[in-house]
Amino acid sequence: LLAGADLLLMDEPTNHLDLEGIQFLEGLLNSGAYTFLVVSHDRAFLDSVARSIVEVERGKLRRWKGNYSEYVRAREREDSHRLKEWKKQQEFRAKQEDFYRRYHYGQRSREAKGRLKRLARMEPLEKPPLSRDRGPKVRLRTGEGPRKGMEVLRAEEMTVGVGEGKILLEGVDLRVMAGDRVGIVGPNGAGKTTLLQVLAGRRAPLAGSLERHPQAQVGWFDQELKGLVPGRTVFETLRDTAGPGPDDETLRAHLALFLFGKDQVDKKVKDLSGGEARRLLLAALTWNPAGLLFLDEPTNHLDIQAREALEEALLGFGGTLLFVSHDRYFLDRVATQVWFLEPPRVLAFPGGWKEADALRRSTQSPGKKGREEEEARKGGEKKKEKEKPPREKPRQGKKINLFKLERLEEKIFGLEEEKEALEASLGDPKVYKDPGRSRDVRARLEEIAAELEELYREWEETGSP
């Protein structure tokens, strides 16, 4: 990005990025400074940055206007229209064939044969796939666990860390009730996976207490795919999980739900792609019933079809769910509460991603950093409203020069407006196709950045008592 490229080609850029990194990338792409083509299964990211969607389906490419959500709505409208046309054609064909059967030996046989010939020349319409038919229908088996309203997990003054000296989280007080679906988010390295391991009983807390309901039957999904043996096949992996009881056809039918066809069940684990390996692990996880599920980054490397199938399965799951994810779309659909890891604290808020994130932001002081984070989160979809930098009330001591502050603010706002205009101009073909003009615009943007840095420093010194 710092190399000043004119065209960016990105393949799954948000995989393994934390939310802060994803939002930073969104803000950069929405600045207008780059032309880009991105392959992504991150639906919230595509909603933020995409202005058109190229769909790859059945060996064909098709371009749609708008972001991901607009593409989905347009595709559903078209599929609905195509389905109506297909039904009309099917009714017409049925009537013509019925006419031929009734009259092809009688006085109207000539007319009947003519209708049959016209029918043969008619190009048959293909039945469009319904949205509900686009993915596998997976149902999670709910195992033993406490009834809804009962407490499943309780942590008090818990300390989480790795080794003996590295503390990641401390003073953790959390409760999880039966039926809760908890999403866990935070920066890379904050301790999300470690916390999940502690709650699942796969790692001990360094201090404090953790109680888990004794009836809760635990299921675990590992983002490192440690449960898979490279030398085993897809079918053998599920057989290892299921044991000798179920017959082969039952196991093959279960694997088909996760898009493993007849030609793939004998494929070795070591030859699977990242998405296929995750689908196999999910197939094994969903075979055995569980009342308390722990999922670590379950959507990584899954395509949208598989993500939607997983979402539907989790929404129909009758147990309790805790999962780590950076997929905001997934969080919004599945989570009933979100835990934000801000080491050494864990902050819990109700709702899906949008609701929980709004509540978290409302508890923070605005400040310059807060405004910048909010702008990056919105991904440039709306222009930031101009507002004066927060001015603290003068305390006793140094006298604040209000006149100088006003002049500095005017300069800052003027440069910010010029910066926005220049960044927008980089998306104009007349500019980016002209190397000279493009170079001049980038040079001026560098000058503005330096001037703004100096002005903000001077503004802070002038406004400090």
- Asked if the structure places residue 370 within a domain, the reply is no
The answer to whether residues 400 and 351 belong to one domain is no
pLDDT at residue 130, as a whole number: 61
20-29, 159-168, 229-238, 368-377: least confidently modelled range: 368-377
Among the ranges 147-156, 167-176, 432-441, which has the highest mean pLDDT value?
167-176
The total number of structural domains in the chain stands at 4
**pLDDT band with cut points at 50, 70 and 90 for residue 257:** confident
The answer to whether residues 227 and 346 belong to one domain is yes
Using CA atoms, how far apart are residues 153 and 143, in angstroms rounded to an integer? 16
- Asked if the structure places residue 143 within a domain, the reply is no
pLDDT at residue 388, as a whole number: 43
Percent of all residues in the chain with a pLDDT value above 70, rounded to a whole number: 86
The answer to whether residues 349 and 297 belong to one domain is yes
- Asked if the structure places residue 158 within a domain, the reply is yes
pLDDT at residue 290, as a whole number: 85
- Asked if the structure places residue 108 within a domain, the reply is yes
The answer to whether residues 44 and 174 belong to one domain is no
Give me 34's structure tokens: 């780059």
Domain boundary residue, one of 299, 329, 362? 362
Q: Is the pLDDT score of 368 beyond 80?
A: no
Which domain range does residue 395 map to?
386-463
What count of other Cβ atoms lies within 10 Å of the Cβ of residue 174? Answer: 16
pLDDT at residue 2, as a whole number: 74
Using CA atoms, how far apart are residues 435 and 458, in angstroms rounded to an integer? 35
The answer to whether residues 250 and 168 belong to one domain is yes
pLDDT at residue 383, as a whole number: 40
In this structure, the dihedral spanned by the alpha carbons of residues 262, 42, 14 and 138, taken in order and rounded to 10 degrees, is -40
Q: 78-85 long-range contacts, Cβ below 8 Å, gap at least 24?
A: 78/128, 79/128, 79/129, 79/130, 79/131, 82/125, 82/128, 83/127, 83/128, 83/130, 85/125
Cβ–Cβ under 8 Å, residues 214 and 230: no
pLDDT at residue 237, as a whole number: 93
pLDDT at residue 263, as a whole number: 87
In tens, the pLDDT along 305-344 reads 889 888 988 998 889 999 999 999 999 999 999 999 999 9
What is the distance in angstroms between the CA of the first residue and the CA of the last residue of the chain? 39
Question: For residue 4, is it left (φ>0), alpha (ψ between -120 and 50) or beta?
Answer: left
What does the mean pLDDT of the chain come to?
84
Q: Is the pLDDT score of 369 beyond 50?
A: no
The answer to whether residues 327 and 268 belong to one domain is yes
**pLDDT band with cut points at 50, 70 and 90 for residue 31:** confident
pLDDT at residue 48, as a whole number: 95
The answer to whether residues 410 and 450 belong to one domain is yes
**pLDDT band with cut points at 50, 70 and 90 for residue 391:** very low
Which distant-in-sequence residues (6+ apart) come within 8 Å of 465 by Cβ? 392, 394, 395, 396, 397, 398, 400
In tens, the pLDDT along 192-230 reads 999 999 999 999 999 999 999 988 889 998 877 777 899
Using CA atoms, how far apart are residues 280 and 460, in angstroms rounded to an integer? 56
The answer to whether residues 201 and 346 belong to one domain is yes
Give exposure, 149-165, as e/b (b: 16+ Cβ within 10 Å): eeebbbbeebbbbeeee
**pLDDT band with cut points at 50, 70 and 90 for residue 385:** very low
Q: Is the pLDDT score of 40 beyond 80?
A: yes
If you average pLDDT over residues 46-71, what whole number do you get? 94
**3-class state of residue 339 by DSSP:** strand
Length of the chain: 465
pLDDT at residue 464, as a whole number: 53
Query: What φ, ψ does residue 460 adopt, rounded to 5°?
Result: -65, -40
The answer to whether residues 340 and 439 belong to one domain is no
Q: Is the pLDDT score of 302 beyond 80?
A: yes
Give me 181's structure tokens: 């679906």
The answer to whether residues 91 and 159 belong to one domain is no
- Asked if the structure places residue 246 within a domain, the reply is yes
- Asked if the structure places residue 64 within a domain, the reply is no
Q: Is the pLDDT score of 274 beyond 70?
A: yes
pLDDT at residue 142, as a whole number: 67
- Looking at the DSSP assignment, which residues form a beta bridge with residue 323? 183, 295
